[in-house]
Structure 1
Amino acid sequence: MRKFTDAEAGLLEELILNRRDVRGNRFIAAPVEDDIISKLISVALNAPSVGFSQPWEFVIIKDATIKAKIKETFCEENEKAAGVFKDEKQQEYIRLKLEGIIEAPVNIAVFYKPAVGPVLGQTSMGEVGLYSVICAVQNMWLMARALNIGIGWVSILDPEKVKSILKAPPANKLVAYLCVGHVDQFSDKPELEILEWEKRKQKDAVLFFDSY
């Protein structure tokens, strides 16, 4: 088994620290090459999964009509979400650009496909199957950043409507809807940190030893 150098470990850390959630105002019109999409799927397939279950399926979306339908459900859900916030926070929310469904040349819907029978390691905590799919998404995100490709995760969607639009099997569960494309730039910090929507949590606020 290969051992990695300190320099390589440092590069991985740099990729993690420079990963960004990309919005529609950052994507450019340049097409995303098929070999890049293939590489993103390849690293996703090599993510850890409970019981080696590999419970993921991916839908690559380039069709403008399909993307427009997905955008419709985003707009519906985004209007509902705005009502959750109050006063200045609501106005800030309304100004945010929270997706790039149309702007991104490629969208990828990531699904969790439940196993038919019992899965090793999933008998006590059923949700770890979903967590496995999230590991695959993180692999894609980091590889995309290494390739200087932007990914934005859109969560303000009705998952059942997305499933219907994409004709997904009834048992499948939408985990992530990703917008993928070349970008004009990556910001130095996450956009929501720059806008002070939330403050970054420091290590001593979240780290405990032996018990809370």
Structure 2
Amino acid sequence: MAMQFDESERAAVYRAIYERRDMRHFVREPVDADVLQRLIDAAHHAPSVGFMQPWRILRVTEESLRASLHAAVERERVKTAEALGERQDEFMKLKVEGMRDCGELLVMALMDGREKHVFGRRTLPEMDLASVACAIQNMWLAARAEGLGMGWVSLFDLDEVRGLLKMPPGAKPVAILCLGHVEQFYQKPMLEMERWAQRMPVAECVFENYWPCAENGA
């Protein structure tokens, strides 16, 4: 029988899961190089369909590039607000990123040449994106265990960010990741605290055997 984690080890895993937060408030201090390497290594050990390892991580160290990426996000933030209609003003009051203050700015991207990988993707080609999401989650949980905050920024035009990062044809930015020290972690997800949305009851997300239909009262 495979060796299990002991009780304290299990508790630590679940604590990282439940206390992970999408952080937007950072303290502008550098992230220790050894810690950053551990987090990158944790991401690189994520599961991937067909072991294709489609993630590519770009570390943004030029302040001018950080500023350009922030400007791209701000432009999309305004467009997103306009698309939200009656919730526009409410959205504009939310803090949606911490790109100017975080110690490290990373961009998680999909590799080019992914069409060569069909193992597990012949009918579900989006599984490469799912694999990258697993890498991001690995890094997120490891960052929480290290006492660092991380935030996922997805408000950007793909082609604009692709151009800023000089990515080759076929490569695709997935997430701008803000990583760094924080004064404290949010007790709840920030969007829940701001009453933007509430966590769904787990019973509404788990079905047995068949998808419930309206005639069954679902």
TM range (shorter): over 0.9
| Residues 133-172 of structure 1 mapped to structure 2, 5 A cutoff | 133-172=132-171
Match of 1:93 in 2: 91
Gaps of 5+ in 2: 212-218
Letter in 2 for 1:123: R
Look up the equivalent residue of 2:55 and give its one-letter code.
W
- Residue 130 of structure 2 is aligned to residue 103 of structure 1: no
Partner of 1:46: 45
- Tell me the TM-score normalised to structure 1 length: 0.94
Q: CA RMSD in A?
A: 1.3
CA shift for structure 1 position 118: 3.4
Q: Which runs of 4+ in 1 moved over 3 A?
A: none
Corresponding letter in the other structure for 1:11: A
Retained in 2: the 8 A contact 1:150–1:180? yes
State whether residues 27 and 183 of structure 1, in contact with CA within 8 Å, keep that contact through their aligned partners in structure 2: yes
- The number of aligned residues is 209
Amino acid at match of 1:111: A
Match of 1:21 in 2: 22
Aligned residue in 2 for 1:71: 70
Check 1:168–1:9 CA distance in 2 against 1; reply closer, same or farther (3 A cut): same
Aligned residue identity for 2:108: V
Q: Distance in 1 between matches of 2:137 and 2:47?
A: 11
Structure 1 residue 58 corresponds to structure 2 residue 57:
yes
- Contact 2:97/2:151 (<8 A) preserved: yes
Check the 8 A contact 1:62/1:105 in 2, yes or no: no
Deviations along 1:83-125, whole A, 9 cap, x unmatched? 12233x2221111111111111211101111435233222221
Which residue in the other structure is 1:198 paired with?
A: 197
